Chain A
């Protein structure tokens, strides 16, 4: 049996980044919902764990004077699900949060931990695409910002380098309008087989992204352009077919690649239809 790791529990971000830079085989530990499960299964046995949950600057949701929203990386899923400031188009994020696993896991898991783990069935990534989030990343020596669209590079792989962690997600000021997250899973609480995130702003701008169909959510500027000028069922079908043609999903326990490609246009049509209906109801 592998020897037990050392556990560090820093109180400041600077201390955490120093530990991650200077400790051999140290892993950042956030809510534990993925990392501890992997340790229990014997998939990973890091030499050191750096717990991030006591660092005040990594937690909580803040709205800046200009209306942009910063979500600290160690903010729990249930905190995001319950925050009414994630309104308008950004409500897609809160809706995604409410559909992650069960409530006990939502009390533990964090948004930064989730995206750094980069499971393709996660709920946050397509929602973060739909709101054009930026990821703030830090290491001991550097801070950088990366668009969520460039964050996921391969299966379970991100742009994060050793010693780097996600510090926060930055969401541009939500627009008046509707956000909608539609998830298809085998049972409630499972990872998505396919999910669709929609941001439908009252000014007409539409952003859509598809989860569960590859290492990174699927999005297309052409699909967004089509839907931003026309949200009719015909346009939704065109955009959905386009996204399905770009998808390269795999067969797994949650569904075959073929099944996923069939789901994409159908779910996009339904999500858009529901978003348009919600938008009319709110007007």
Chain B
């Protein structure tokens, strides 16, 4: 009962098998077994946001999710989202704005920003700061990250018009 169980997870559209104990988090399984290392283990307490992934399209902390409890969820990581045009626009905007230094928080920032732009196509600076308030960056001071998300929103809106 308290050994390891095989679990099939729906990750980035694929059914992936992993072996997990009940206390193994989704973050541990996706990083250490499935080798999807975009999501980072920062605080492991749900505070820093570096492990953010989408579960049924909503941003969640993979470090606070038990892997065995995620078998009925549709999980998307930065690796899977990187094929999405909106995510690519965000990534280009981060590069253009220089919105990183060490880069550790970047995957979580991008996933959180992607979730914001999915629900709010024209966010204000305040909307962006609120949506990213659960993602810590110890390098940039956030200014360029906020500018990058604003820039991505503008570029995406422009694409819709064009």
Contact = CB atoms under 8 A, between A and B. Distances in A.
Interface of A: 3-7, 9, 29, 31-33, 36-37, 39-41, 45, 47-49, 51, 53, 78, 101-105, 107-108, 187-189
B3, B4, B65, B134: which has the most chain A beta carbons within 10 Å?
B134
**Smallest CB-CB A-B distances: 5 pairs:** A102-B134, A4-B21, A7-B22, A104-B59, A188-B133
Given A9-B69, A107-B60, A101 B134 contact: yes
Contacts of B25: 36, 40
Interface in B22-62: 22-25, 44-46, 49, 52, 55, 58-61
B22 A33 contact: no
A102 B135 contact: yes
Contact of A5 (B23, B58, B64, B135): B23
Contacts of A7: 22, 66, 68-69
B23 A41 contact: no
A187 B136 CA distance: 11
A75 to B, nearest CB: 14
Contacts of A47: 2
Given A7-B22, A101-B46, A102-B133, A36 B1 contact: no
Nearest to B132: A102
Contacts of B23: 4-5, 39, 45
B63 interface: yes
B21 to A, nearest CB: 3
B112 interface: yes
Contacts of A29: 66, 69
A105 B61 contact: yes
A3 B3 CA distance: 8
B2 A105 contact: no
Contact of A33 (B64, B69, B131): B64
Given A4-B21, A107-B59, A188 B64 contact: no
A143 B22 CA distance: 30
Given A47-B2, A189-B133, A189-B134, A32 B65 contact: yes
Nearest to A49: B22
A6 B44 CA distance: 21
B94 to A, nearest CB: 19
Contact of B64 (A9, A32, A53): A32
Contacts of B24: 4
Given A7-B22, A101-B134, A103-B134, A36 B112 contact: no
